[in-house]
Amino acid sequence: MPNIQNKLSLLLAAGISILSTLSPATLRAESTPERDTRMQWWREARFGMFVHWGLYSGLAGTWEGKPVGTQGGMEWIQQRVKADTDTYAKAAIPLFKPKPGFATEWAALAREAGCKYVVFTTKHHEGFALHDSKVSEYDAGSVLHRDLVKEIVTALKKEGLRVGFYHSVIDWHHDQYEYQKSKQLPHPLIGKPYPNGTRDHSLYLDYLHAEVKELATAYPVDVLWWDYSALDFQGDAAWRATDLMKLVRKARPSIIMNNRLYRSPEAGWASMATEGYLPHIDPAYGDFITPEQHIPDTGMPGVDWETCMTLNTTWGYSDHDHAWKSDETLIRNLIDIASKGGNYLLNIGPKGDGSVPPETVKSMKAIGTWMHLNGESIYGSTASPFDKPAWGRCTQKKVAGGATRLYLHVFDWPKDGKITIKAPFKPTGARLIASGVRLKLEKDGDQTTILLPPTAPDPIASVIRLE
């Protein structure tokens, strides 16, 4: 990044960090009642499933018989091997063969894992749309004579899940997409002249808007998850972003959208780094901030945020990536995020036939087992009233009658069999929520000590409810 931009973003970040020292209530002044209403289900959900699935899924990280690598996003394979769209399509289309009923499996898995919503790729950077589009011939309707978006949405709604559309505004297929306008956004042909001579980006934008309009009007979508912009190419100049958001909001008034049509400080961005977000967002630019592969250290009071993360190191399926996160990591991440007031959007990468890799099924079910026993400490909870305790994390929840409950998530079981805290209310009782076992309390002034059984009931996280 040029030095002057660096300095500018530092200055802006400094200005905004002053803002962030104001009380959450001050920052929430940015919220309108409408926004609070539409955000309600999302704030309570705390856990969603992300799905990256497209032509790249069938390639599975292999190009011309060779693995492209064992690490990193294989949904970028077209860019990694620098293939033009025709070469890519010719190799990938024959390998993308969704089996009947695949979406029912995704929906059941999301429910079993305890997810409340599912965000899936309606079109990734490769440009292939999963619905039946009237404005494209590079779509499931034209190529497979199926509307995969409809199949997925129907299956998700049957399971009572909320539905999100990931939609890439970056496009590696469209012949009018002017990739030379950005040095920071990826494209397989970057640095090369347009193969078709000249391009008119406004024609690409007409297509983008028409396609998004199809998606927003034909399906009951609850979230639009845009992806993504650069400091040198963003917002109105790059995507006619204000109009794009407007047309979606008109079709679906209570939809929730992320901030990735922009890359500016008002929209919650400080830089091009994946950790370059700010603890502040003007809702005109989106409803929530999307830390990627990363959990903010202290959360963002007053700001809606969602950490998206892979189970291994790739979003799109790869045969070569075996770096699966442990159940312990995944469950503790979910708790850590909830304790900071955020959502966890955990990604699965189904194969080209739509089936879910067995390692993924295993992990999602392990989270589901934990959530089945302990979910009341996550759903509808809010950020911890404490700094990170040595033994784990904490969430809290208001219950009917105005009382507050604290949920203590114990990661490291104390050797002395005690946890002492200064509760923000007078505790009347404590229980392990998975088993219902009551725990004794000792009080000393404003300190409460909970007496624990000798060993951890759950080695990953045992949850104590303090009433």
Binding site for ligand JFZ (CB under 6 A): 73, 75-76, 227-228, 272, 274, 292, 308, 315
The answer to whether residues 165 and 119 touch, using CB atoms and an 8 Å cutoff, is: yes
Of 98, 24, 18, which is closest to residue 58 (Cα–Cα)? 98
Q: Smaller CB distance to ligand JFZ: residue 54 or 301?
A: 54
Instruction: Please give the torsion angle defined by the CA atoms of residues 218, 223, 228 and 233, in that order, rounded to the nearest 10 degrees.
Output: 80
Q: Is 345 or 367 the residue whose CB approaches ligand JFZ more closely?
A: 345
Q: Which is nearer to ligand JFZ, 130 or 408 (CB)?
A: 130
Q: Nearest approach, Cβ of 291 to ligand JFZ (angstroms)?
A: 11
Identify which of 110, 121, 122 has the alpha carbon closest to the alpha carbon of residue 157. 110
Q: Which residue type does 354 have?
A: G
Nearer to ligand JFZ, 75 or 211 (CB): 75
Residues 6+ apart with CB under 8 A from 291: 274, 275, 277, 305, 306, 307, 308, 342
> What are phi and psi for residue 309, nearest 5 degrees?
-155, 150
Q: How far is the CB of 48 from ligand JFZ (least distance, A)?
A: 13
Whether the CB-CB separation of 323 and 313 falls below 8 Å is answered with yes
Under a CB-based contact definition with an 8 Å cutoff, are residues 349 and 314 in contact? yes
Cis preceding linkage at 88, omega within 30: no
- Closest CB 364 distance from ligand JFZ, rounded Å: 18
- C-alpha 92/C-alpha 124 separation (Å) is 14
Closest separation in Å from C-beta 5 to ligand JFZ: 14
Residue number, 233 or 370, with CB nearest to ligand JFZ: 233
Q: Which is nearer to ligand JFZ, 90 or 294 (CB)?
A: 294
Query: Nearest distance from residue 227's CB to ligand JFZ, in Å?
Result: 5
**Contact yes or no for 347/318 (Cβ under 8 A):** no
Q: Which is nearer to ligand JFZ, 72 or 427 (CB)?
A: 72
Q: Tokens 């639009």 identify what position?
A: 224
Reported in sequence order, the residue ranges of 128-273 that DSSP labels E, i.e. its strands, are 162-168, 223-227, 256-257
Q: What is the nearest approach in angstroms of ligand JFZ to the Cβ of residue 228?
A: 4
- At closest approach, how far in Å is the CB of 460 from ligand JFZ? 26
List the alpha helices (DSSP H) in 314-463.
327-339, 358-374
Closest residue to ligand JFZ: CB criterion: 228
Minimal distance, residue 387 CB to ligand JFZ, in Å: 30
Rank residues 133 and 310 by Cβ distance to ligand JFZ and give the closer one. 310
Taking Cα atoms as reference points, which of 151, 137, 136, 145 lies closest to residue 53? 151
